[in-house]
Amino acid sequence: MTKITSTNPMGTDGFEFVEYAAPDPVALDNLFKQFGFVPVARHRSKEVTLYRQGGINFIVNGEPDSFAQQFAREHGPCACAFAIRVEDAAFAYERALQLGCEPGPTTSGPMELNIPSIIGIGGSLIYLVDRYGDKGSIYDVDFVPIEGVDQEPEGVGLTFIDHLTHNVHQGNMDKWASFYEDIFNFKEIRYFDIEGKLTGLKSRAMTSPCGKVKIPINESSDDKSQIEEYLKQYKGEGIQHIALYSKDIYHSVPAMRASGTAFMTPPPETYYEMLPGRLPWHHEDLEELKKNAILMDGAPTEDGGLLLQIFTETVIGPIFFEIIQRKGDEGFGEGNFTALFESIERDQIRRGVL
């Protein structure tokens, strides 16, 4: 359990949940089941369902008068909120307000838990949660477990939220990086400036003092990149993708694919032909990587480790998911950024966007 310190003034300790909404919540139900999530509980009085896999909690909010559904009416299918675990939610909330944050709406009913929130990216919410682990659970108060359902399903082996990214308008990357620095004392751990054949993006990867909340913030270098396409489709800034950690990506990906998950177009054959030159020390099975269309990245030398990753197609409006397994590399697949960026560009060209 993380404590409040001078370097961790909000007492952050990881992600608690991500909340989603859509005009048709059934589509989200089908999607998350494809990913290996199981609906484990339903809200006592509202049309809200809790999905779980490993240590990952997803909330689907279909309550008509909720903030989530209002957000969905404005943006379409969306990730309308996420929650950060903190040592003391009331303290963290008051500190955030003192530092100039805008409070989120208070929508709890009688006998319901009031979880404080602040306004985050694109008007979405950041909840502050201190009931977890030995201190109980926020779900015990508002949710009723679904009878006969394992409350801690393993699913396809996804275990926690590794990171989630923000897409912002040109000129706003530094503003949002400063937001996380000023409020939560995040630090920049990576900076990217990616140039594709026709478009480009910049990204600042921020991480919390506890090291468990990582948020890369992307902005476009031009007016036609996939970042700009996202901003137009989503009608504003927001969460671009959520990365889910797999303890065995060679198991998770085929299981998700067999359930109907659509992954992005595989990289060209040349990508795998070039891997031994890029990472001569790796010990992965290239045929397995290629068969599953998994990307690999790593440091120039073995002591820097490597990571394996794959991305779904856009599945919640313009939002997509990443499946990632780290083998000593704490980056974000920088070596794959250009390859991925160019593959999305190829798709944009095929669709006539570029």
pLDDT digits (tens, 9 = 90+) for 183-205: 999 999 999 887 777 778 899 99
Single-letter code of the amino acid located at 105: P
- pLDDT at position 316 is 98
The answer to whether residue 1 sits within a structural domain is no
Which of 121, 130, 87 lies closest to 101, judged by CA? 121
Asked if residue 38 is part of any domain, the answer here is yes
Binding site: what residues are annotated?
163, 241, 322
- With bands split at pLDDT 50, 70 and 90, how would you rate the model's confidence at 334? confident
Q: What angle do CA 59, 162, 77 make, to 5 degrees?
A: 35
Q: Which of 85, 117, 145 is the last residue of a domain?
A: 145
CB contact at 8 A, 286 and 279: no
Instruction: Answer yes or no: do 268 and 246 share one domain.
Output: yes
Most confident of 90-104, 129-143, 218-232: 90-104
Average pLDDT over residues 37-63: 97
pLDDT of residue 108: 62
Best CA proximity match to 124, nearest among 153, 81, 175, 74: 81
At 110 the pLDDT is: 55
- Percentage helix, strand, coil, to 5, in the chain? 30, 35, 35
- Give the residue, 244 or 338, on which the prediction is more confident: 244
Tell me the torsion sign for CA atoms 185, 189, 191, 192: negative
pLDDT at 131: 93
The answer to whether residue 97 is domain-embedded is yes
Structural Rg of the chain based on CA atoms = 20
Does residue 46 belong to any structural domain of this protein?
yes
| Host domain of residue 16 | 12-145
Q: Mark whether 174 and 320 lie in a shared domain.
A: yes
Within a domain: residue 334?
A: yes
**First vs last C-alpha separation in the chain:** 48
The single-letter code of the amino acid at 184 is F
Q: Please, what is the Cα angle at 305 between 303 and 306, to 5 degrees?
A: 155
pLDDT digits (tens, 9 = 90+) for 71-127: 999 999 999 999 999 999 999 999 999 999 999 998 666 557 889 999 999 999 999
Residues 140, 165, single domain; the answer is no
pLDDT at 343: 59
Residues 224 and 129 in one domain: no
Domain membership of residue 34 (yes or no) is yes
Question: Looking at residue 202, what is its pLDDT?
Answer: 93
Task: Answer yes or no: is 257 within a domain.
Answer: yes
Q: pTM of this prediction?
A: 0.93
Q: What is the CATH number of the domain that holds 60?
A: 3.10.180.10
Predicted confidence at residue 339, as pLDDT, reads 62
- Both structure tokens of 48: 């809200």
Query: With contact defined as beta carbons under 8 Å apart, do 115 and 128 qualify?
Result: yes
Q: Evaluate whether residue 153 is within a structural domain.
A: no
Binding residue ranges for Fe cation: 163, 241, 322
Number of domains within the chain: 2
What is the band of 341 on the pLDDT scale with cuts at 50, 70, 90? low
In the chain, pLDDT over 90 holds for what percent of residues? 77
Q: Which residues contact 72 (CB under 8 A, 6 or more apart)?
A: 21, 22, 23, 78, 80
CB of 70 closer than 8 Å to CB of 81: no
- Pair 139, 179 in one domain: no
**For 93-135, what is the HEC assignment?**
HHHHHHCCCCECCCCCCCCCCCCCEEECHHHCEEEEECCCHHH
Question: What is the average pLDDT across 294-303?
Answer: 86
Cα 76 from Cα 300, distance rounded (Å):
42
Q: Where among 145, 178, 196 does a domain terminate? A: 145
Around 172, how many Cα atoms within 13 Å sit in the side-chain half-sphere?
A: 18
Rounded to whole angstroms, the maximal C-alpha distance in the chain is: 62
Output the average pLDDT for the chain: 93
Which is more confidently placed, 30 or 340? 30
Mean pLDDT of 244-262: 98
Q: Say yes or no to pLDDT of 165 above 60.
A: yes
The packing angle between helices 226-234 and 334-350, to 10°, is: 70
Give yes or no for residue 39 having a pLDDT over 70.
Answer: yes
**Domain boundary pick from 93, 111, 145:** 145
Residues 175 and 285 in one domain: yes
Distance CA(324)–CA(16), nearest Å, equals 18
